Chain A
Amino acid sequence: MLADLSVSLWRGAKEGRYETYSVPRRESQTVLDVVTFVQRNIDPTLSYRFACRVGVCGSCAMRVNGKPRWTCRTHVSKVAAGGRLEIGPLDNLPVIKDLATDMSRFLEKWQDAKGVFAPTKTRHDPIEQIRPDSPARRAADAAIECINCGVCYAACDTVRWNEDYLGPAALTRAWTLVNDERDGANTARLQAVAAAGGCHSCHSHQSCQELCPQTLNPTASIAGLKRRTAAAYLRGEIKA
């Protein structure tokens, strides 16, 4: 018989407090299981967000014992030192209620970083042949597995200091498109990420790559953008 978990959950919005609940400990229990237990069995007014429960949708990220985590794939046994869990909403995002944050600004920054594919062909053109082992194609892998969970954004010191900073996820998406040979909007994209609040604001603290649940490396992608934008600037293709 396992001892119960002591679970503190953030209740409220910007102003609020942690409330502590006792949750039965189970084998192979995830942090999302714990939050769901509280909502289903103790307090149905608890607000949180999830969808797929299998690490695909990116909805359930929360701050767990001080670090942002995807809760559906985070086992209690890995993070609950001494049987205690403190679960709060993600940092660097406005809290709507309890554990649910407003992701609007995070997602708008993907648009600001020109994270939208700009096709150069029509449906009548033949499909472009891309060699899977080419350096550009490999570099384009940077954000393909990104699930938009916001863990990197919540972990980023620079986002905390500078609310205009685009953040690791949006910049990694931009880096993927910069390396996409089919895309036709690179000058505008490099211009967007070279402005104040763009890739050059990154301090390379690497919290994003340490905590990314998909083990992506946004710091490396941002370093690539720094090099590419600096070269474009020196060639006069983009302006400061």
Chain B
Amino acid sequence: MNVHLYVWQRATAALMAPLVLIHIAVIFYATRQGMSAADILSRTHGSIVWASFYGLFVAAVSIHAAIGVRNILTEWSPLEDRGAGYLAVIFGLLLAVLGARAIFAVVLS
């Protein structure tokens, strides 16, 4: 871990902290209101606000988790920095694709 990765990891963590709280609050709201999947989708469909919210969330998670995985690999596996970096980028891209797919399903489809 160098200062560049450190700053990115801390910045994405700071970004995720309020997003996680809002995400949990939304889950509580939806379940306590007894909303069905169709109710929820009717509110999220075409919403730029929810697309932006979860788009930001997915981007932050992908960067944050990839840096963490890279750190785990360099410390706990025989991989050197370069190999761990490649695997971490692949992992981050996988998270980004899965997240983007979920956002697409909830907001656009």
Contact = CB atoms under 8 A, between A and B. Distances in A.
Interface stretch (A3-11, A56-64, A83-91, A227-235): A227-235
Interface string B1-44: 11111110010000000000000000000000000000000000
B18 to A, nearest CB: 20
Main secondary structure of the interface of A (DSSP, over half): helix
Nearest to B1: A200
Given A161-B75, A162-B74, A233 B1 contact: no
A200 B2 contact: yes
Contacts of A240: 2-5
B66 to A, nearest CB: 16
B3 A161 contact: no
Given A195-B2, A200-B2, 19 more contacts: A161-B75, A162-B75, A195-B3, A196-B1, A196-B2, A196-B81, A200-B3, A200-B5, A200-B6, A201-B1, A229-B6, A230-B3, A230-B6, A230-B10, A233-B3, A233-B7, A240-B2, A240-B3, A240-B4
A198 B81 CA distance: 14
A238 interface: yes
Interface residues of B, number: 12
A189 interface: no
Contacts of A161: 75-76
Main secondary structure of the interface of B (DSSP, over half): helix
Nearest to A201: B1
Interface of A: 158, 161-162, 194-196, 198, 200-201, 226, 229-230, 233-234, 238, 240
A230 B2 contact: no
Interface string B54-95: 000000000000000000001110000100000000000000
A3 to B, nearest CB: 44
